[in-house]
Structure 1
Amino acid sequence: MARLTLTGKELLAIGYPQSPAIAAAITVGEHYKLTQRDEVLEMLGKVAANPADYANDEQLGPVAKLLLHPENDIIKLKDALPYKVYGGEFIEQGAREQMETAMSLPVAVAGALMPDAHHGYGLPIGGVLAADNAIIPYGVGVDIGCRMCLSIYDIPESHFEANQSQYKRELIAHTKFGAGNGFHGQYKADHAILENETFKMNGFLKNLHDKAYSQLGTSGGGNHFVEWGIMELHGDDNELGIRKGKYLALLSHSGSRGLGATIANHYTKLAKELCRLPKEAAQLAYLGLDTEAGMEYWLAMNLAGDYASACHEIIHEKLTKAIGGKLLARIENHHNFAWKEEYEGREVIVHRKGATPAGKGVLGIIPGSMAAPGYLVRGRGNLDSINSASHGAGRQMSRTKAQQTFSKKELSELLKVKGITLIGGGLDEAPGAYKDIRVVMAAQTDLVDIVATFKPKMVRMADDGSRED
């Protein structure tokens, strides 16, 4: 006979608060048969109405005590586990403290801090955390599935230099940036992602479908970009089957737009209600993957990741068609996500918040800044880093400080010297706001090998400094 599995919605309907008492009540229900659903709900309803009457009950006492003393349901942290730090000499103390807190979670198994790490919300940006059967919404981040996508063409550098006005025109025509911005009417893109069944999982996701449709094929604000550049492959012996040399390439960086941000905020709020942690760890509230809320977030996260990939696919297909070149290769990786992976013989949930997957032989892209090179890399499968590498150069200066430090004239002169055209962008993204990508790469030679170098030539970013994603 199948056992009974109650849902959080059923318990909310009979008077339970959004709290760990729900998880305790679900555990009680698992001891009964499916045919006893009505009886069990009636019994648990009585506990919710008068918890003091059941405080000493052997089976119902744990539920009653959580209802009577919600202050006691704060989860205790453990002594922080050790974790590996790469490039530690230029990682700020705030990021280290956040990582220390993450390693104190009861579900923490292993962790690492990448050389581009800096302070964020919850898990630091550049933080990698392996957890036991738990998913942390702010361990993934607000911009779920944010990723890099690189297309390499059979077009020589000389053609780009001689036809920059055309490349600029097409870049502007086929991209759209910034918080809330999307396509409308006949300009809307279409993609199979819009038919994904997860949109029908609940009313919350159904209500996000129209937003996802309008923003499909667009990019966010902040450090998101689409840019033309020159890719130099350093050897003939590569997985791409392309001879060494210089090629025109298109590189994009963006995520899941308003869809991912709304999912992240919704499930972070829910996690905080269900998983009460001490104040210093509150942003790291987690959801068990064996719970209804945890599985909902897992499915929604994967939907957002697939949506982010679809956005890049549309941008690259539009621009490939516009320039008429032959596509030689396309590489893609994401860096704000969680994966089920094996670590030391056990399945764990690996959160990479601003970290690139770098399993053995896995290709990835690590960008610099608008005026610094990026790199196509091959992972070395280093277990100490939990098969991860940096996702970029990493900020060394806040957006506000960057705006106060640099001038438009200085930025313009720097880009002119380097032969780079900037369309949009703001002083908050000035190259000096970032760490030196070469120093960052030197700190992770144990994690990745460089396959090719990408030099930006024409960069498109949001005009308004918006930071939705």
Structure 2
Amino acid sequence: MGNKIKGKDLLKIGFPNDNSVNIALGLISRYKKRETKDRVLKELSELLYAPDEYIGDGIWGKVAEGLIAPVEVKFNELKIERSPFLIYGENEIDDKTKHQFYQALKLPVSVQGALMPDAHYGYGLPIGGVLATDNAVIPYGVGVDIGCRMSLSIFDAPASFFNGKTHQLENLLSEHTKFGMYETHKIKHDHPIMESKLFREIPLLRKLKTKAYQQLGTSGGGNHFVEFGTVTITASDAGIPAGEYFALLSHSGSRGLGAAIAKQYTQLAVKQCPLPRQVQHLAWLNLDTHDGQEYWNAMNLAGEYAKACHDDIHARLTKKLGLRMLMTIENHHNFAWKETVNDKACIVHRKGATPAGLGEWGIIPGSMTAPGFIVRGLGNASSLNSASHGAGRVFSRSECKSRFTKSEMMKTLNNAGVSLIGGAVDEAPMAYKNIHQVMGNQQELVETIGTFVPRIVRMDKN
């Protein structure tokens, strides 16, 4: 069996006595342990003869890379000086979060950074952190929930559509949205994303495909939601007439697919990119390497999958509502993009930050009792064309549980005229910063086109 192969077996067929042996043994243990020893050694002999033909191969590509141009693993010291940066709303951001951001700016691959006014402490980059790097992608700079995003559908119905329909709309959300680790739709909808060749070519994704299909059209736990509410369009050039509309807003990401991708490639990055202990979560993958390219492809697939989940949610509810969509506004806020920064090709990580290039549309939510803002980017280069992704937390989840009670939360919601299905005290409106203050601190980053006010909110039960 493949898992019986030892280093001496590889040396005997011609492997150099270097790290390529350890790489091959690790891949054999992960992907080939059910195959016969002779078959695996035959594959590796063919690889040794023509390693160029295996570059990019889902299983053996990393071995081929190691044979042709071994990746040097070396300890990376932080720079003494920080890369250029700006902080928006600095007085409302705690020192712990700013210090975490400063550490990221000292990475050898760091080019430029920006911290959004909703920023708070996280793993790797702080939430609300934007970082441009040189040919390197940081899995924890993207985040665990790859492709976490907003999607807003505005319907051809006035805000008064709510009148007399609250109970009916609550039932729609209860019956046709699914949340958390275990809820799935009984009737699955097919989507082209599930036919992506990456589900065949990348071994990790091959193992995750069934789970991804099961979770298609569902939302995560925590602060993820699906809401009915009212949109007020104030701009005259928004594409639809100014006025008040009935609308649907969702917030979720790539579910278990994205979490598994983040876990595996973070582990690979930490092994390949040793860093001082306080910044080890900022380990990166060079995009010129097999693992770097594989993560990039998997990350983009997870982003497309997250969009597919939102599309499915909105299609299901639109069909039940019997309404027509007038406009959809959507954006990622946990992702990495290839962009030009000061005439230099970079990887721009936005971890809890909304893309805000010139004319780019986005939605920045508040809380269950505060409005969200429909925005257009102003293309501010100093912010790396970014804005906040929401109001940002004042209190952590654990702090909320000790500070607030469920009854206090429900009283606040009732006073605001908001109906909640599911939800927990760690998502109480009191957990978040003042969205109006956050928006005031980023007037040079986005212009406001309209607002969304929640009326009925569905979240995970926990």
Fold shared by both chains (TM-score > 0.5): yes
Cα deviation 1:198-231 (Å, max 9, x = unaligned)? 1112221100001001000000000000000000
Within 1, Cα distance between the matches of 2:205 and 2:213?
A: 13
Q: Which moved more, 1:273-282 or 1:384-393?
A: 273-282
Give yes or no for the alignment of 1:12 onto 2:22.
yes
Within 1, Cα distance between the matches of 2:284 and 2:161?
A: 51
Corresponding letter in the other structure for 1:190 = D
Q: Which moved more, 1:199-208 or 1:112-121?
A: 199-208
Residue in 2 aligned with 1:139?
141
Residue in 1 aligned with 2:207?
207
- Pick aligned residue for 1:295 from 290, 293, 296: 293
Corresponding letter in the other structure for 1:303 = L
Over the aligned positions, Cα root-mean-square deviation in angstroms equals 2.4
**CA displacement at 1:82 relative to structure 2:** 3.1
Corresponding letter in the other structure for 2:94 = E
Secondary structure, in 3 states, of the residue corresponding to 2:305? helix
Within 2, Cα distance between the matches of 1:36 and 1:92?
A: 53
Secondary structure, in 3 states, of the residue corresponding to 1:207? helix
Secondary structure, in 3 states, of the residue corresponding to 1:166? helix
**CA displacement at 1:16 relative to structure 2:** 8.9
Cα contact 2:84–2:111 (8 A) shared by 1: no
**CA displacement at 1:136 relative to structure 2:** 0.3
Residue in 2 aligned with 1:148?
150
Cα contact 1:231–1:452 (8 A) shared by 2: yes
**CA displacement at 1:161 relative to structure 2:** 2.2
Secondary structure, in 3 states, of the residue corresponding to 1:162? coil
Within 2, Cα distance between the matches of 1:15 and 1:417?
A: 62
Within 2, Cα distance between the matches of 1:211 and 1:36?
A: 32
Q: Which moved more, 1:111-120 or 1:75-84?
A: 75-84
**CA displacement at 1:281 relative to structure 2:** 1.2
Within 2, Cα distance between the matches of 1:119 and 1:204?
A: 30
TM-score, normalised via structure 1 length: 0.84
Within 2, Cα distance between the matches of 1:39 and 1:410?
A: 67
Cα deviation 1:48-72 (Å, max 9, x = unaligned)? xxxxxxxxxxxx9x979x7xxx8xx
Give yes or no for the alignment of 1:118 onto 2:120.
yes
Corresponding letter in the other structure for 1:263 = I
Give yes or no for the alignment of 1:231 onto 2:246.
no
Within 2, Cα distance between the matches of 1:310 and 1:302?
A: 12
Within 2, Cα distance between the matches of 1:40 and 1:410?
A: 64
Within 2, Cα distance between the matches of 1:13 and 1:327?
A: 51
**CA displacement at 1:410 relative to structure 2:** 1.5
Cα contact 2:153–2:325 (8 A) shared by 1: yes
Give yes or no for the alignment of 1:74 onto 2:93.
no
Give yes or no for the alignment of 1:318 onto 2:319.
no
| 1:58-73 alignment runs, 5 A limit | 73=74
Within 1, Cα distance between the matches of 2:248 and 2:109?
A: 40
> In structure 2, do the counterparts of structure 1 residues 357 and 392 end up closer, same or farther at CA, with 3 Å as the change threshold?
same
| 1:358-369 alignment runs, 5 A limit | 358-369=356-367
- Pick aligned residue for 1:247 from 242, 245, 257: 245
Corresponding letter in the other structure for 1:188 = K
Cα contact 1:370–1:456 (8 A) shared by 2: yes
**CA displacement at 1:235 relative to structure 2:** 2.8
Corresponding letter in the other structure for 2:214 = S
Corresponding letter in the other structure for 1:76 = E
Secondary structure, in 3 states, of the residue corresponding to 2:125? coil
Within 2, Cα distance between the matches of 1:40 and 1:231?
A: 57
Residue in 2 aligned with 1:53?
none
Give yes or no for the alignment of 1:400 onto 2:401.
no
Within 2, Cα distance between the matches of 1:40 and 1:388?
A: 42
Within 1, Cα distance between the matches of 2:152 and 2:351?
A: 20
Secondary structure, in 3 states, of the residue corresponding to 1:232? strand
Within 2, Cα distance between the matches of 1:396 and 1:247?
A: 31
Cα contact 1:86–1:115 (8 A) shared by 2: yes
Within 2, Cα distance between the matches of 1:161 and 1:36?
A: 68
Corresponding letter in the other structure for 1:139 = G
Cα deviation 1:70-91 (Å, max 9, x = unaligned)? 8xx3111112223100001111
**CA displacement at 1:323 relative to structure 2:** 0.5
Cα contact 1:180–1:258 (8 A) shared by 2: no
Cα deviation 1:351-403 (Å, max 9, x = unaligned)? 00000000000000000011110000000000000000000000010111111
Corresponding letter in the other structure for 1:440 = V
Residue in 2 aligned with 1:426?
424
**CA displacement at 1:14 relative to structure 2:** 5.6
Gaps of 5+ in 2: 1-15, 28-45, 53-66
Cα contact 2:160–2:246 (8 A) shared by 1: no
> In structure 2, do the counterparts of structure 1 residues 111 and 158 end up closer, same or farther at CA, with 3 Å as the change threshold?
same
**CA displacement at 1:314 relative to structure 2:** 0.3
Work out the number of aligned pairs and report it. 413
- Pick aligned residue for 1:413 from 398, 411, 414: 411
TM-score, normalised via structure 2 length: 0.85
